[in-house]
């Protein structure tokens, strides 16, 4: 959950297709794995391009491990990737990474592989210096007809015998040609990556800035406008058949589905977070009829800033299930499975309705001192709440005095709906959107109870850096008042900025303001 993170708020899971490339001959450190079946597994976002595989990339200096899969086969990948897999039920042992063999990338160079869908019967592992250990599996399948990076790296190996010799790569291993797989307008009807590399003058994998630009061009045009020209889905648009090819590979046992965070997420305890497959319940945000009501609620809502509205629209567009992820702590327990607690970002979204009657139910903040009518918590049954909040006509059967019921009912209708909810912009993709969802769910036919205004503000930076207790860049209101006084504070805050942009409190401005005064 976002509030459990010290960094990476708002980052979600990214789904990959794990392509299983079988090792044909077990040599070197892999020899100890015989007679098991060994796969190098590559994480890809483009399973539809696997028809064009010509080789496999490994980082020569990266650390790789072999781990036993659930079915008894062996997977070779980075330890980081294995840590995500182990929490997704993909490996033999749960919740613990147990390497069978550890090796460097250069020890695997020249390994013969059999890859799914490609027309090459054998492809080889080759060195690529830009393979990352913190993204995917550290194993990259190469499609030089579709990926400018792959094309540039392959040309480098072909043109540089000394580089091949350094890693024991023979000329035969790089004697491959890009396979035409996608017809992309503008970049040619056959091979888009070589075409765009030629157009942009890219001669080497060291042309990093040009390669980034080329990749964006080819991938966007290829996915949205490209047509597959090979295989059983020949003639169909790429974006239409991506899922079908993924399902085909998984069903054939040639791939698996795998997820990891889109970007690095660090928990408040300092650990790097993984994507875990859990047996849990979901709140079905995104359900079509519910979503229509939320879209109606948003159309009537004053967001005070166009960017805030666009953020709400984008969130509603992708939002689906949200987990009931906790088994302890504050919150409402699921009535049908009480070991789970509804996560607080979802659970605490209509508490402002309770504010309208809280002073009648208890006189103190925590509810220990009863109000004037002496109402007990157990007397507040669902029927009583319905009478107050849903404005039902039938009087509930209760020991609570009618005078108290009518007072609570009148207080609620006087104060509701919420005219202005002020909160941080980081809560738009979760809590504030759930706030709209849950108001429409609790009052589906009473639109007059839906929120009418939400103002989202930016974060407050301290001397241009995010405030954090762990880094020491932190200042409380009390400390700031003691140090600069109210007027110094006001001058620094007035200078800091406002609205959806992050405001920057500068101590130098506060100091100089005090001196001027």
- Residues 52 and 142: their CA atoms lie apart, in Å, by 8
Angstrom CA distances, 396 to 34, 214, 383, 385, 494, stand at 73, 68, 6, 9, 52
Let me know if residue 267 belongs to a domain: no
> Do residues 409 and 512 share a domain?
no
Let me know if residue 277 belongs to a domain: no
List the beta bridge partners of residue 205: none
> Do residues 328 and 213 share a domain?
no
> Do residues 158 and 108 share a domain?
yes
Tell me the average pLDDT across 334-343: 89
Let me know if residue 146 belongs to a domain: yes
Range in 14-28, 179-193, 427-441 with the lowest mean pLDDT: 179-193
Let me know if residue 160 belongs to a domain: yes
Tell me the average pLDDT across 2-14: 77
> Do residues 99 and 213 share a domain?
yes
> Do residues 450 and 466 share a domain?
no
> Do residues 289 and 169 share a domain?
no
The answer to whether the CB of 313 falls within 8 A of the CB of 298 is: yes
Output the pLDDT for position 463.
92
Band of the pLDDT at 325, cuts 50, 70, 90? confident
Q: Which is more confident, 477 or 187?
A: 477
> Do residues 185 and 53 share a domain?
yes
> Do residues 148 and 92 share a domain?
yes
Collect all residues with Cβ–Cβ distance below 8 Å to 39 and sequence separation of at least 6: 20, 21, 22, 23, 73, 74, 75, 76
Let me know if residue 275 belongs to a domain: no
> Do residues 256 and 380 share a domain?
no
Residue with tokens 């666009």: 310
Angstrom CA distances, 328 to 281, 343, 344, stand at 15, 10, 11
The answer to whether the CB of 52 falls within 8 A of the CB of 178 is: yes
Output the pLDDT for position 310.
94
Which CATH number do you get for residue 331?
3.40.50.620
Range of the domain at 478: 461-516
- Residues 448 and 207: their CA atoms lie apart, in Å, by 59
List % helix, strand, coil for the chain (3-state, nearest 5): 40, 20, 40
**Has this prediction a pTM greater than 0.75?**
no
> Do residues 18 and 95 share a domain?
yes
Closest alpha carbon to 384 in 411, 362, 371, 402: 402
Range in 186-190, 214-218, 299-303, 361-365 with the lowest mean pLDDT: 186-190
> Do residues 101 and 207 share a domain?
yes
The answer to whether the CB of 345 falls within 8 A of the CB of 353 is: no
- Residues 60 and 50: their CA atoms lie apart, in Å, by 23
Overall domain count for the chain: 3
Output the pLDDT for position 189.
47
Contacts 24+ apart (CB under 8 A), 21-28: 21/56, 21/113, 21/114, 21/115, 21/116, 21/123, 21/139, 21/141, 22/113, 22/114, 23/76, 23/111, 23/112, 23/113, 24/112, 24/113, 24/114, 24/122, 25/111, 25/112, 27/111, 28/103, 28/107, 28/108
């Amino acid at each position: 959950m976002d509030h459990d993170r010290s960094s990476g708020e708002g980052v979600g899971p990214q789904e990959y297709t794990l392509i299983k490339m079988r090792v044909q001959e077990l040599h070197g450190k892999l020899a100890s794995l015989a007679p098991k079946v060994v796969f190098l597994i590559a994480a890809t976002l483009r399973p539809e391009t696997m028809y064009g595989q010509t080789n496999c990339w490994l980082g020569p200096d990266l650390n790789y491990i072999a781990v036993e899969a659930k079915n008894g086969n062996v997977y070779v990948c980075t330890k980081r990737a294995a840590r995500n897999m182990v929490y997704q039920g993909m490996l033999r042992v749960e919740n613990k990474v147990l390497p069978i063999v550890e090796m460097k990338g250069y020890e695997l160079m020249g390994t013969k592989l059999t890859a799914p869908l490609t027309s090459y019967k054998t492809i080889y592992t080759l060195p690529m210096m830009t393979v990352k250990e913190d993204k995917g599996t550290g194993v990259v399948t190469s499609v030089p007809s579709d990926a400018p990076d792959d094309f540039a790296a392959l040309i480098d190996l072909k043109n540089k015998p000394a580089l091949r010799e350094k890693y024991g790569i023979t000329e035969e291993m790089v004697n491959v040609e890009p396979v035409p797989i996608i017809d992309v307008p503008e970049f040619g009807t056959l091979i888009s990556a070589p075409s765009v590399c030629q157009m942009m003058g890219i001669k080497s994998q060291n042309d990093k800035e040009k390669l980034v630009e080329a990749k964006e061009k080819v991938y966007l045009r290829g996915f949205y406008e490209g047509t597959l020209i090979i295989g059983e889905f020949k003639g169909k648009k790429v974006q239409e058949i991506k899922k079908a090819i993924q399902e085909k590979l998984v069903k054939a046992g040639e791939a698996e589905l795998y997820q990891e965070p889109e970007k690095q997420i660090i928990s408040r305890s300092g650990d790097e977070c993984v994507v875990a497959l859990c047996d849990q319940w979901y709140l079905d945000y995104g359900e079509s009829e519910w979503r229509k009501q939320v879209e109606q609620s948003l159309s009537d809502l004053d967001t005070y800033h166009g960017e805030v509205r666009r953020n709400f629209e984008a969130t509603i567009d992708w939002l689906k299930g949200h987990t009931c992820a906790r088994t302890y702590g504050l919150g409402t327990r699921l009535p049908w499975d009480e070991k789970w607690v509804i996560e607080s970002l979802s659970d605490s979204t209509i508490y402002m309705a309770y504010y309208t009657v809280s002073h009648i139910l208890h006189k103190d903040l925590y509810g220990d001192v009863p109000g004037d009518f002496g109402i007990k918590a157990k007397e507040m049954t669902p029927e009583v709440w319905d009478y107050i909040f849903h404005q039902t006509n039938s009087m509930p059967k209760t020991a609570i005095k009618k005078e108290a019921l009518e007072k609570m009912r009148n207080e609620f209708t006087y104060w509701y709906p919420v005219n202005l909810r002020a909160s941080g912009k980081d809560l738009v993709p979760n809590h504030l959107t759930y706030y709209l969802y849950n108001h429409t769910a609790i009052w589906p036919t009473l639109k007059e109870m839906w929120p009418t205004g939400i103002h989202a503000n930016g974060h407050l930076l301290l001397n241009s850096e995010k405030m954090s207790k762990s880094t020491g860049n932190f200042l409380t209101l009390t400390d700031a008042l003691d140090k600069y006084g109210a007027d110094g504070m006001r001058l620094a805050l007035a200078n800091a900025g406002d609205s959806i942009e992050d405001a920057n409190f500068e101590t130098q401005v506060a100091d100089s303001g005090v001196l001027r005064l």
